[in-house]
Amino acid sequence: MWIVGAILIGIIIGVILPINIPMAYAKYVSVSLLAGMDSVLGAFRAGMKHKFNFMIFSSGFIVNALLAAFLTLLGDRLGVDLYIAAIVVFGGRIFQNLTMIRRYLIIGKSAESEEGEKE
């Protein structure tokens, strides 16, 4: 719906924008993007259950993105692939949130329990 529209508008703006991310920083932006995706999906799920809290979402979005980028940077400096932790955690949470959204859409308002069986 409007989410797809938002992403498309964002892509168009990004293509037009003359800013370029230096190659060295592209990795950090990618990991922050992953954290952002998880935040958005979490917000979507919370909103469907009318439990959305703007402060939690916005602070989580920014903090998670920064932390993910910082973890990647630290891993680069230490020589250990610390970004894998961010990928595993945020990727896992993306799938969790997606599952809950899917269940909510299919079963409806009765699927309130977050600990319900995840398929």
The helix/strand/coil state of 17 is coil
The verdict on 37 binding another protein (CB under 8 A) reads yes
Q: Nearest 5°: CA angle at 67, between 62 and 73?
A: 130
The verdict on 91 binding another protein (CB under 8 A) reads no
The verdict on 94 binding another protein (CB under 8 A) reads no
Contact 96, 118 (CB under 8 A): yes
Q: How far apart, in whole angstroms, are the C-alpha atoms of residue 58 and residue 83?
A: 22
Q: Which is nearer to another protein, 50 or 77 (CB)?
A: 50
The verdict on 55 binding another protein (CB under 8 A) reads no
User: Rg of the chain's alpha carbons, rounded to an integer?
Assistant: 16
Instruction: Compute the least distance from the CB of residue 113 to another protein, in Å.
Output: 21
**Interface with another protein: number of residues (CB under 8 A):** 37
Q: Which stretch binds another protein (CB under 8 A): 54-62, 71-79, 80-88, 99-107?
A: 54-62
Residue identified by tokens 């950090």 is 28
